[in-house]
Amino acid sequence: MEQLILKNIEEIGFENVKNKIVPFNNCDQALKVAFSNKLVTEENSKDALQNYLKELRQETGKLLNVYGE
């Protein structure tokens, strides 16, 4: 999911993605961190998502497919 969110930011823009996620960010811990408030920046959100993906890759090895990076 995090990979797709990063791709959506690239395709439709950060503000569009943020506006759709912020109302529902409590449903997922990674999204809660990446979009913790309405003043969050694109850079901070991307960093949080990329760091989470890095952790997942370390834990799962090659199970997580590299998508669009």
**Distance from chain centroid for Cα 29:** 10
Q: What is the pLDDT of residue 55?
A: 93
What pTM was estimated for this model as a whole? 0.82
Mean pLDDT within 32-43? 86
pLDDT at 48 over 90: yes
* Arithmetic mean of pLDDT over the chain: 88
Contact partners, residue 34, CB within 8 Å, separation at least 6: 2, 5, 25, 40, 44, 45, 48, 49, 52
Confidence of residue 68 (pLDDT cuts 50, 70, 90): low
